[in-house]
Structure 1
Amino acid sequence: MQTLSIPYSYDLLVTSGQSLKALEQELQFLLAVKLFELRRLSLGKAAESCHMSKISFMYELGRFQIPVINLDDDQIQDELK
């Protein structure tokens, strides 16, 4: 797996009120969520990228009110018919 380095100011760490490790895990999770929303990563790959199980990732998506399934997708619409 490749590594990405993202610079951020110390202020972000302080204002988050989190430990360095917790903040980095949150940022990694938020990146995975956004890439999932943009359909750049599948559910499984997004969960894997932030070291979570699919079920845990789906649960967290629900807490953020992010749909796991896009019902506007043409393929799903065909299957529903």
Structure 2
Amino acid sequence: MSLKMIINYPETLPDAVGKTREQFEEESKWAMAVKLYELKRLSSGMAAALVGVDRVSFILKLKDYEVSLIDLSEEELLSDLENA
């Protein structure tokens, strides 16, 4: 089962950001998925499903939003290196 979310926005908003309505809505969907992934609320697979692409395509798109695939603190990274 798939649910649908409706977001109201001003009719002039897509034009204000230089996009068509379709481009604006697609970009908004991507932005939401990427942000939820960045906040660790969604896995990359779940975020990919939200935008309707495969996981690899989602991961490759993260750079467009300046979001890292791996987000480890210095402490976590050093721990991983010690245990490698």
TM-score by length of 1: 0.81
Instruction: Deviation per CA, 1:35-77: give whole Å up to 9, x if none.
Output: 00111100000011011221111111023221112223x8876
Output the amino acid matched with 1:16: V
Output the amino acid matched with 2:62: L
- Aligned partner of 1:58 in structure 2 is 59
In the alignment, structure 1 segments of 5+ residues that lack a partner are none
Larger radius of gyration: 2
Shifted more, 48-57 versus 26-35: the winner is: 48-57
Report how many aligned residue pairs link the two structures. Answer: 81
TM-score by length of 2: 0.79
CA distance in 1, matches of 2:78, 2:41: 21
- Aligned partner of 1:5 in structure 2 is 6
SS across alignment from 2:3: coil
